[in-house]
Amino acid sequence: MSRLEDLKSNIDEYFQSAELLFKQGLSNAAFMMYFKTIVAICDYILWRDLRTLPDNHGERFRVLKLRYPDFYEILNYYFPYYRDTYTRKVDDRILVAIRNDVIRLKEKVE
């Protein structure tokens, strides 16, 4: 399997996991997997277009901000909520919003 295929497989796996968790009412776990799906989509785009993968979130954010501001804005918007899932319950409106964004962004890699 190529790197691009591996990244696409990760996107699909994270999204399927998020959907299962969402349907089971496990909001925080679903949010975390939706966020991971967005990260995987960003990594897919970075590898497809630039043949580079970031080592961490900071590097990912810097590259996205410079090269893909639309992806950066989405990831940056949800990052604080992602961090909060460790100590707080995610708001249902935010959960639905990230789910809708993931569904929309997945179209860019299909």
What CATH number did the domain enclosing 35 receive?
A: 1.20.120
- Among 28, 1, 2, 45, which residue's Cα sits nearest to residue 82? 28
Determine the average pLDDT of the residues in 7-30.
97
- Where residue 27 falls among pLDDT bands split at 50, 70, 90? very high
Give the model's pLDDT for residue 52: 93
Of 79, 48, 52, nearest to 63 by C-alpha is 52
Tell me the pTM.
0.94
Number of domains making up the chain: 1
52-110 tens-digit pLDDT: 999 998 999 999 999 999 999 999 999 999 999 999 999 999 999 999 999 999 988 87
Q: Which domain holds residue 34?
A: 3-109
Residue 1 has pLDDT above 80, yes or no: no
Please give the Cα distance from 93 to 98 (Å, whole number).
9
